[in-house]
Amino acid sequence: MSDPIPGSTEEGVLAVLEEAMRVPVAALVEQPVLAAHDWDSLTSLFALARLEGRFAITLDLRAFHAARTVADLVRLVALAGGAAATQEPTTQGSP
């Protein structure tokens, strides 16, 4: 994993993981396997809430819990963001 591009999904995911796991981004880039950084149930739920809030998305819980690496989470967030962007906007008062 190389250095994240500023403003990218990867950078945002890394920032959330840094906060959730209290691990520097450099350590997550060097060792992207989540289990290597005290990734437990409470940390993962905290990260889930932060990711959904930061990116205004809803992640599939099973897919989220199946993620094993930073890249897996970046992919999930990118897919959820793409799905959210392709949904038709709803307007109040429409029949």
Residue 4 lies in a domain: no
Output the CA–CA distances (angstroms, integers) from residue 32 to 21, 55, 89, in the order listed.
12, 21, 36
How is residue 6 written in tokens?
């500023």
Residue 3 lies in a domain: no
Q: Indicate if the pLDDT at residue 94 is higher than 90.
A: no
Residue 91 lies in a domain: no
Q: Indicate if the pLDDT at residue 1 is higher than 70.
A: no
Residue 66 lies in a domain: yes
- Please report, for the domain that includes residue 79, its CATH number: 1.10.1200.10
Look at the chain and report how many structural domains it folds into. Answer: 1
pLDDT of residue 58: 96
How is residue 46 written in tokens?
């905290």
Residue 51 lies in a domain: yes
Residue 95 lies in a domain: no
Other Cβ atoms within 10 Å of 51 Cβ, number: 21
Domain range spanning residue 77?
Answer: 9-83
What pTM does this model have? Answer: 0.80
Contact 57, 77 (CB under 8 A): yes
Could you please report the per-residue DSSP string of 44-86?
A: HHHHHHHHHHHHT----HHHHHH--BHHHHHHHHHHHHHHHHH
Residue 65 lies in a domain: yes
Residue 22 lies in a domain: yes
pLDDT digits (tens, 9 = 90+) for 61-88: 999 999 999 999 999 999 998 655 444 4
pLDDT digits (tens, 9 = 90+) for 2-32: 555 556 899 999 999 999 999 999 999 999 9
pLDDT band at 49 (very low <50, low <70, confident <90, very high): very high
